[in-house]
Structure 1
């Protein structure tokens, strides 16, 4: 009897064991099936034909089709913005950037934005082809507008011949997918871009608060001198307070010391002669609406997008900014020399381009261009048969040249960076022009106020070219060529807004009227 009971107990244990084993196996199987089911809900890739279907539905995005197709061909048409966990962080970063394009000074309208908004709100985890392709198109929209700028084919329209920076934005996305924070890297552009961006935010805040009122003056108004008192003075004080030129708006009508210093600061920022007298032209400049200043900032941020960050990496380089009539020579990352310059007239514009300075020519000839011979020299010779002799000129193989000497139009030295525009830097005997506020007087070449100092700095490392030998060569009345051991990049640019090292925004006259054309193109984009 005991034996039977023991046997029965063993049978129960055995049956129970089998049941438990079966239960655990079924449970494991169910878990595996659920896991498999979850895996199967994520489709790795999509049908490539759906790309054409997408652009048929959303034709306004077709401008990005080549870039998008290139992106997906590289990735075998796998989903880029999704993984098994759902939509990737980078997708949300791009979406956020698209929603804040104004911070980058981008004015172009985003096509089908409301459609994407609905898709983003609706779908957060499971991949959707339309959402996927929208994100890819908007990624290229974002990088093209904020990093690249307007299409390079339009550069001739805005007369910009500086080399554009080049980057693969297909490859750039690989980096963003690994680390989305790279999108906020402040090394995508030259430093000036980020300085202008900060000022843009400040001026938009001023605009949101109502901007500034136009300063009205009596019809008989001529000028305001230190010590004068009037309602106009109080209005000027308020105006300069808004842009930070004066720390306090006391409301005083007296043109005293504090306001005089603010006026000097304002004049320096706007390219005026530094004196304390306030003229109608100064008030007219103060009356430029904040909306126009914002437009100017946006236009110049766009120009910054076109410039490679590699420029600042050069050991030495020269930058000429046409609207500010200023040359800066950079050496070892610092400004070694700043000089006023004279640039081309509106009829003979100085070209925006770059070259490599290869030669310095002391006591140079001036080889007169065929156009100047035709339009100026020949008509003058008809009126005065001694015109060439009186101007120290001579015929040379069918052309006219001016002999070396203090009366030479190129002065005592010229700096050559060979180019098809026949533009170079040079000295001038007309020194008085450098004191003018507007300095667009040349035939296109750039006259330098400090040519001797520039030559000495460039040749500083050459033991042969001492300051004494440079001076002697400049006054030799015989042309002397110096070939530079290391060529120096020269960049001739056009910026009507520029933030200086102290963080002050400088506005310059748009002497060649380029801003309005570019502003219109940015809106159309």
Structure 2
């Protein structure tokens, strides 16, 4: 993915007639080939297709799609009708132009195709050779496959290597092209819809590119002390200007006084960055203000890429989504958000895995079977220092050798899982649970756990999941949560769960948000997307 320096010239290539000085060395006219006088009943020679693919590195990887597409058409041309290039071709070229303009992505630009297309659009200039018609047909098909693969499937990289274990959305780009040709509708999104979150986030790209073009984003120096309302200093004018340009401050008065309007703007920005909306301008806020528009654009691009991988949401009943960098759980019933709950996720060293599963069980007053890693690294050293450590922490040994005993913690007020846990069986031993350390939910950054997800309002979640069973009420749930005996409850229907990682997103108020890349997943994906060739 590369940024184009001057997009105006590219747009002109699409809109202006080629004047013979285009990509001539690649589009030489073979005058020995008869000129096309009729576009009726054009059929492709399979040998010509093989020759095209062998000489075109960009499209060679789509060989199977090419063959499948034309074979099912009996090798009839797709982009031409009786008058020449069909409306599908015009629609697709316009779509490419619009996408390049929005995304600033030069990899979607094909100068050879543009030159041929413009020559066909100016039918009065000359007739066209069979070779030109063939190349235009195959270049349109190849460019469509390239566009669809990039915009709807995303990178060819193994996404598991990038820390992503949610099954990837499946897109058949051959069937996608066939739908476009058959219906004449080049609004590809109607056939391979990108999720609503993608559309919301991508809509902010023009704004960010405008900020980048304007420049004037010098670093604001850090201060030893935070700035508060009624402070008066030169740097405040710079901060006002920046918040105005970012859209958090309604107007820029260019004064140096920290007034009430700036206080509200600071809180707005802090909420969007997830850094605690106290209204004071401290080191964390200055760090976020100093992130350049170019860096934000890259962050958006990385997150748009992840959104391309996402399978369609579960809209038939309840589902739960957790966004790790946001430290937030969202609970939906069909398309309606029923609640959002603060969560605590794993530390950078014990990161929470990005995956999906099905929540099947609620366990009240749970035992905590201590993972062997925690036993080895934390409990055994503590037991050596204090022989009463297990008893003091309401733990018991259930077996295993002295070198690595099996330890579990009993239900009760000290239990690390709190009063309830929610299980969605998986290979990562991750689940939702309560915690006795309630004070941690007030922190703006909440990566404290060993990998599992601590839920800020577990009782509220349990009530929602059991709401359709009249035998469950608040009293019964309270009783079981405070019990001394573990109680398993199997849900009548499994609830889909997806644990995601998005550091740029648009919230339900339509506001652009950014979060820190706590596990460095953005960094790894950016290395793939923006690698220099």
TM-score normalised to structure 1 length = 0.88
Partner of 2:506: 499
Partner of 1:337: 339
Paired with 2:102 and 2:379, the residues of 1 have a C-alpha distance of: 50
Structure 2 contact 395–408 (Cα < 8 Å) conserved: yes
Q: Which has the larger radius of gyration?
A: 1
Structure 2 contact 229–280 (Cα < 8 Å) conserved: yes
Q: 1:170 to 1:517 in 2, by over 3 A?
A: same
Q: Which is further off, 101-110 or 348-357?
A: 101-110
Partner of 2:117: 120
Q: Which is further off, 366-375 or 408-417?
A: 366-375
Three-state SS of the structure 2 residue aligned to 1:472 is helix
Matches within 5 A, 1:138-157: 138-151=143-156, 154-157=158-161
For structure 2, list consecutive stretches of 5 or more residues without a partner in the other structure.
1-34, 401-405
**1:323-372 CA-partner distances (Å, limit 9, x unpaired):** 01111111242221111111011111100001100000000000111222
**1:431-467 CA-partner distances (Å, limit 9, x unpaired):** 1111112211111000011111111111111111111
Structure 1 contact 428–448 (Cα < 8 Å) conserved: yes
Q: Which is further off, 39-48 or 474-483?
A: 39-48
Partner of 1:188: 193
Q: Which is further off, 181-190 or 153-162?
A: 181-190
Three-state SS of the structure 2 residue aligned to 1:320 is strand
Three-state SS of the structure 2 residue aligned to 1:498 is strand
Structure 1 contact 322–493 (Cα < 8 Å) conserved: yes
Partner of 1:511: 518
Structure 1 contact 431–449 (Cα < 8 Å) conserved: yes
Q: 1:430 to 1:304 in 2, by over 3 A?
A: same
Partner of 2:134: 129
Partner of 2:58: 60
Find out whether 1:278 has 2:281 as its counterpart.
yes
Find out whether 1:101 has 2:103 as its counterpart.
no
Find out whether 1:302 has 2:305 as its counterpart.
yes
Find out whether 1:426 has 2:433 as its counterpart.
yes
Three-state SS of the structure 1 residue aligned to 2:203 is helix
Three-state SS of the structure 2 residue aligned to 1:488 is strand
Partner of 1:268: 271
Structure 1 contact 212–242 (Cα < 8 Å) conserved: no
Three-state SS of the structure 2 residue aligned to 1:341 is strand
Question: What is the total number of aligned residue pairs between the two structures?
Answer: 484
Three-state SS of the structure 2 residue aligned to 1:120 is helix
**1:385-426 CA-partner distances (Å, limit 9, x unpaired):** 222222111122432111111110000000000001110000
Q: 1:164 to 1:104 in 2, by over 3 A?
A: farther
The offset of 1:106, in angstroms, is: 6.8
Partner of 1:198: 203
Partner of 2:255: 252
For structure 1, list consecutive stretches of 5 or more residues without a partner in the other structure.
1-36
TM-score normalised to structure 2 length = 0.87
Partner of 1:439: 446
The offset of 1:165, in angstroms, is: 1.6
The offset of 1:174, in angstroms, is: 2.5
Q: 1:102 to 1:387 in 2, by over 3 A?
A: farther
Alignment partner for residue 288 of structure 1, among 266, 269, 291?
291
Partner of 1:166: 170
Three-state SS of the structure 2 residue aligned to 1:64 is helix
